[in-house]
Amino acid sequence: MRLRALASGSIVAGILAAAMALGVAAPADAAGLGSDAFGDSNLLNYRSTLTGAALYAQNSTAAKTAWGSNYVANVTKSAAAARAGAVYGNIESVPDAIPIRQMGDIPVSPKLLGNWKAPRFTGVGLNKPSGVVGATVAMTAFQYRADIANGVTSWLGIDATGAVCGSSWASSGFVNFITGQDCNAFDASQAAKDAANQDVVPGVSGGKVCDPAAPAYCITLERIATYPPNPNYGGLCFAETGPASSGTGRFALAFSDGVVDYTSSGGDGGQNLGATCPAGQLWVNGYRGASMPYARAQLVTRYGFANGARDAWAASTPVVTSDGDPDRQLLCTYTFSDGTSANGVTTSFKDGEAMPAPLCPVVPSGLTAKHIKVEEIGGGVDNVLTDQDAAPDTLTTVPDGFTANAPAGVDATYCQTNVCLLDLIDVKSNDTCFDEAATCDGWFSDPNRDADYKCTYGGKDADMQQCYMYAHVFNTSKRLAGDAYADPKTGEDVGGETGPDLDTQTMGNSPAPAINPDGSIISCLGGTYAAFNPLQWVLRPIQCAAEWAAVPRPAVIEADIQGVQHSWDQTAPGKLANAVAGWNLQPVMTGCAGYTWPNVYGSGKSLTMGNACPGQPLAALAVWSVRITDVLAVVGGGLALVRIGSRAFGQEGPDR
């Protein structure tokens, strides 16, 4: 199971890496952004393309991490990553804790154990230490029941995971719970391939092949119609040319597992299972009779049909072929500054596998790339992955819209000879927050934010909004909680995970200065030398030192608590508590119409019981019922509370 998860994770990582590579070459649309790469609505892209490489190459380690992590998060919005995400969903994080089953590997001195012996678990007596140990062992064994079972059955050559997860009955019911098999990633590679190739139109890639047994008869498979709501069904649409069948010809389907079956064939156009066949096309449905995990029906043959009896199957030579997993390529086309263009094509790859970086052409000397277009081709499709003007770091001229966001005087030419970094500056010290992260802690919520901080790009003042992406980077609690990402347009929390070392890197090793509640730096010496006051000269520094040493910053304490909370939430008791907290038990019983029993014993008549709506005979009785049950509930509940409370303090009732 872990190997399956590892393999699945590797595939996704490969796709993401390819997406990143694609993003480096063509960042804007590869990140799922609009073609208006430099418009006001595309601040994120502006930041990524303009500041990315320079920030990563020249700023601090913290900046690298912050930018890199954000960029990865943004790039995952690309078409390829979204496609993978739709298949895999959330990939489980690999726990970094020592599993309790490995605690035996921790060396313990025999002297420390003394004469202690492992208690015998009798299965009873849970109020004794031996019972607690036994129960813990049993619970641990149950927790790892799937690993244990898989290990044992693998010795016998049995695929326990496949046995459970391959059955729709077992994989989603009590059997799955008892066996503990994780079916989430079962056959994920096939699921990925099936989902990734949904754009393949059968009949286009494979073309049409005439039936060798009836050379004049040709069929073109137009559409495969799988039917997800009921996996037992599949169907397809097709067009035929040749002699009129006149009701004597029927068609068979081959499903993804190779089984050939037939139930019905239809007429001209109309509703098929899962798809509507266009006018002029025929349809045929197939009922597999058993679940097809990933149905992909294929029209295989034509057989005779006369007088209500089917003839024997004809030769199973497919009359139509289609490649469900065709070869793909990435086509990268540059349009140069002189209007000419050139392209490059990658080697073939399969959809659902790692996508290679686009192989873009070399820019001729004296020209610049003005426009870039990357397409995924193959399988009869042409998916445009990006189609945009080139990023400014490959230009020598300023593209339209660039000056709307960039500070005055900063353009592509300026950035060729200057360090173009997006930076947040602490106005008090006139230093970058990347060097004094603790001072800038909580800068985004500072009521005097615009006065206390300024945003610069390329050393020139930029609009403060451009630095909203750093809203949580300089926020201790957010950062320690692994949630340092912010919407670059609004500064709002967007969730996500940061690297575990981001805090250390950002905070640096220098001690943080003492901060007043209003955010200003405490002056431990200022002002006290203006007058002769030896007491203050000594007291004030000591007071500062004591405050620095003893008074914790609320944000840090809050972050510590959040860290413990996060750890607890990952444990079984934590998840159990969260699951129970999420139950939201709020049954609603406010109606008065009673209960209606439809079609009583097949009589075609319904029976209504307990209808106490106004005007009904039972309405008055229901009023008294409410009064009586209210009294019973209050008195009974009160007595129960008294009994529970009294026994909690040692008072036992006579019936005990």
Q: Judged by CB, which is closer to other proteins: 137, or 259?
A: 137
Q: Judged by CB, which is closer to other proteins: 258, or 656?
A: 656
Window 525-554: contact mask with other proteins (x via CB under 8 A): -----------------------xxxxxx-
Q: Judged by CB, which is closer to other proteins: 99, or 243?
A: 99
479's tokens: 């950062």
From residue 128, give the alpha-carbon distance in Å to each of 15, 36, 119, 142.
Answer: 53, 70, 10, 21
274-280, long-range: CB < 8 A, 24+ apart: 274/225, 274/226, 274/227, 274/228, 274/233, 274/234, 274/235, 275/223, 275/225, 275/235, 275/237, 277/222, 277/223, 277/225, 277/237, 278/222, 278/237, 280/239
Q: Judged by CB, which is closer to other proteins: 95, or 267?
A: 95
Candidate residues 137, 427, 538, 619; the one interacting with other proteins per rule CB under 8 A: 619
543's tokens: 């007071």
- Of 321-329, 339-347, 599-607, 633-641, which segment contacts other proteins by CB under 8 A? 633-641
- Of 150-158, 287-295, 323-331, 621-629, which segment contacts other proteins by CB under 8 A? 621-629
Question: What length is written for the chain?
Answer: 656
Residue 615 contacts other proteins per CB under 8 A: no
53-57, long-range: CB < 8 A, 24+ apart: 53/393, 54/415, 54/419, 54/420, 54/421, 55/421, 55/422
End-to-end alpha-carbon separation of the chain, Å? 52
> Exposed, middle or buried, 286 (CB in 10 Å: 0-12/13-18/19+)?
buried
Window 494-523: contact mask with other proteins (x via CB under 8 A): -----------------x------------
- Of 31-39, 59-67, 524-532, 570-578, which segment contacts other proteins by CB under 8 A? 570-578
Give residue for tokens 């909580």.
Answer: 442
Minimum distance, C-beta of residue 420 to other proteins, in the bound complex (Å): 37
- Of 89-97, 157-165, 282-290, 314-322, which segment contacts other proteins by CB under 8 A? 89-97
Among residue numbers 635 through 654, which ones bind other proteins (CB under 8 A)?
636-637, 640-641, 644-645, 647-648
Candidate residues 561, 600, 605, 606; the one interacting with other proteins per rule CB under 8 A: 561
Within 10 Å of residue 3's Cβ, how many Cβ atoms? 8
| Residues facing residue 360 across a β-bridge | none
Q: Judged by CB, which is closer to other proteins: 312, or 551?
A: 551
- Of 117-125, 341-349, 533-541, 606-614, which segment contacts other proteins by CB under 8 A? 606-614
Minimum distance, C-beta of residue 595 to other proteins, in the bound complex (Å): 5
Say how far apart CA 209 and CA 323 lie, in whole Å: 13
Question: Alpha carbon 23 to chain centroid distance?
Answer: 19
Q: Tell me if 31 sits within 8 A of 74, measured CB to CB.
A: yes
Q: Judged by CB, which is closer to other proteins: 584, or 603?
A: 584
- Of 225-233, 379-387, 443-451, 565-573, which segment contacts other proteins by CB under 8 A? 565-573
Q: Judged by CB, which is closer to other proteins: 3, or 572?
A: 572
Candidate residues 427, 568, 599, 600; the one interacting with other proteins per rule CB under 8 A: 568
- Of 32-40, 204-212, 305-313, 631-639, which segment contacts other proteins by CB under 8 A? 631-639
Q: How many residues bind other proteins (CB under 8 A)?
A: 75
Q: Judged by CB, which is closer to other proteins: 278, or 541?
A: 541
SS (H, E, C) 65-93: HHHHHHHHHHHCCCHHHHHHHHHHCCCCC
Say how far apart CA 16 and CA 22 lie, in whole Å: 9
Window 373-412: contact mask with other proteins (x via CB under 8 A): ----------------------------------------
Window 571-600: contact mask with other proteins (x via CB under 8 A): xxxxxx--x--xxxxxxxxxxxxxxx----
Q: Judged by CB, which is closer to other proteins: 4, or 460?
A: 4
Minimum distance, C-beta of residue 168 to other proteins, in the bound complex (Å): 15
Minimum distance, C-beta of residue 96 to other proteins, in the bound complex (Å): 8
- Of 54-62, 199-207, 412-420, 569-577, which segment contacts other proteins by CB under 8 A? 569-577
Q: Which amino acid is at 272?
A: N
Say how far apart CA 432 and CA 171 lie, in whole Å: 55
> Exposed, middle or buried, 52 (CB in 10 Å: 0-12/13-18/19+)?
buried
DSSP 26: S
Q: Judged by CB, which is closer to other proteins: 68, or 131?
A: 131
- Of 6-14, 465-473, 487-495, 630-638, which segment contacts other proteins by CB under 8 A? 630-638
23's tokens: 């993003």
Tally the C-alpha atoms within 13 A of residue 400's C-alpha that lie toward its C-beta.
6
Among residue numbers 111 through 150, which ones bind other proteins (CB under 8 A)?
127, 129, 132, 139-140, 143-144
Considering only CA atoms, which of 300, 302, 250, 295 is closest in space to residue 275?
A: 295
Q: Judged by CB, which is closer to other proteins: 348, or 651?
A: 651
Minimum distance, C-beta of residue 150 to other proteins, in the bound complex (Å): 17
Query: Cα–Cα–Cα angle for 193, 196, 199, nearest 5°?
Result: 125
Minimum distance, C-beta of residue 556 to other proteins, in the bound complex (Å): 5
Candidate residues 340, 445, 570, 599; the one interacting with other proteins per rule CB under 8 A: 570
- Of 309-317, 405-413, 457-465, 604-612, which segment contacts other proteins by CB under 8 A? 604-612
Say how far apart CA 189 and CA 5 lie, in whole Å: 11
Q: Judged by CB, which is closer to other proteins: 312, or 549?
A: 549
Minimum distance, C-beta of residue 433 to other proteins, in the bound complex (Å): 21
Among residue numbers 154 through 213, which ones bind other proteins (CB under 8 A)?
177
Q: Tell me if 198 sits within 8 A of 226, measured CB to CB.
A: no
Give residue for tokens 């286009």.
Answer: 204
DSSP 486: B
Tally the C-alpha atoms within 13 A of residue 368's C-alpha that lie toward its C-beta.
13
Question: Per 3-state DSSP, what percentage of the chain is helix, strand, and coil (rounded to 5)?
Answer: 40, 20, 45
